[in-house]
Amino acid sequence: MSQRLMSKKKPAYPINDELKKYLKKYERRTKSAISYDDLLRFSGGVDLEDIEGNPTLWLRVFYPEFEQNEIEYSLKRIYTQLHSDGNEEIFDYLKIAAIDFCTFGNSKPFRIKVMNLFNNNYVYFYVKKADASRIYGLELEHILSPNRINFLAYGSTLIEEHISGIPGDEFIAKNLSEVDELGISQIAKEFVKFNERCTITLLGDMRSYNFVIIPTHDFDLIRYKIRAIDFDQQCFEGKFMVYQPFVFKENTSFVSLVREKLDQRSIEQYRNEERALLAKRIITSKKRLYRLLKVMSNDTISTDLNVKLLREEIYKYTADVSFKRAPSMGHVLKAALDFVKRNYQDISLKNITKDII
């Protein structure tokens, strides 16, 4: 199913001048003495295994001794810019504990492990090849989802903070069998809402390894949230189904939970709740969101064929002529968000009228 739905290879799209201005305005741009291409010049590496001794797709890389100090200094600087005010006074307390390279996926990221020498606490961040569609996805996630996300861009390099959680495929294999009945119902509910949010915001390819499950202890309960961690397929594909996580075979276990635990009325209730929350975020973040959509609408982040196919499919689904007229993926997304906002406001007005009567 996944191979038939998805394009074989999505190209990386450059960051145009208007997007650079947007990123600068909202403090997403930075300067650095090191780039993604610089990190590619490693001299060797060791294959990494997981805690059970199984091979992973990560390679721990090493650099020539005369370059190592300069690379570590630059990475510390990036860390302080991402997580604080860029103050270099704390550099003596930081150590670059590891630099890992992933050979899988479009972005082929470097994962940087930064350790605090005082207490051995550590955090990760990622260095990736910049891609305009991915940047739009990150920014839309920040504005429209319940989550906030830190990232920086400079030149052809993208810096992202690490998103904590258990990858969905690992959760299915190792954790799902231990979740109690209440937890199962929560996961089913969250998957419905996650599916709705991805569909409306046109975030594609949410297979189980592209999102995480986040368990949180709340008194005597464990609550579960689902959060996207991969934004490469923001507004690229032409098939509407690609933006609906439930269609992927990798997510069959989560779809089964929905079928077992939720009736159709509950599913519609959770879908309506997510649409209402999205509409509220659209309204409260209107200025920043529509500035982003304006830049996105004038940018090229997909093929003409994909734009034509997607707008026609969504038009058949909604009967909204705004989709039929959309000349770019940015326009398609704007039509989708306007559709949600308009319907939410219509429903709110009806409820107010009903209460008055």
Q: Which of 114, 136, 161 is the last residue of a domain?
A: 161
Q: Model pTM?
A: 0.92
Sign of CA dihedral 76, 150, 295, 108: positive
Check whether residue 18 and residue 138 sit in a common domain. yes
Token pair of 128, please? 């990736």
Choosing from 126, 161, 196, the residue where a domain stops is 161
Residue 4 pLDDT = 63
The per-residue pLDDT for 346 is 59
* Structural domain count, the chain: 2
Blockwise average pLDDT, block size 10, the chain, 357 residues: 66 95 95 90 92 89 92 93 82 93 85 93 94 97 95 94 96 96 96 97 97 92 95 96 96 97 96 95 95 98 97 93 95 96 64 33
pLDDT of residue 232: 94
State residue 357's pLDDT score: 27
145 in a structural domain: yes
Distance CA 324, CA 322 (A): 5
User: What is the extent of the structural domain holding 72?
Assistant: 14-161
Name the token pair of 349.
């007005």
Residues sharing a CB contact under 8 Å with residue 298, sequence separation 6 or more, in sequence order: 18, 328, 330
Judge whether 7 lies within some domain. no
Claim to verify: residue 196 and residue 255 sit in the same structural domain = yes
Q: Are 271 and 340 in contact (CB under 8 A)?
A: no
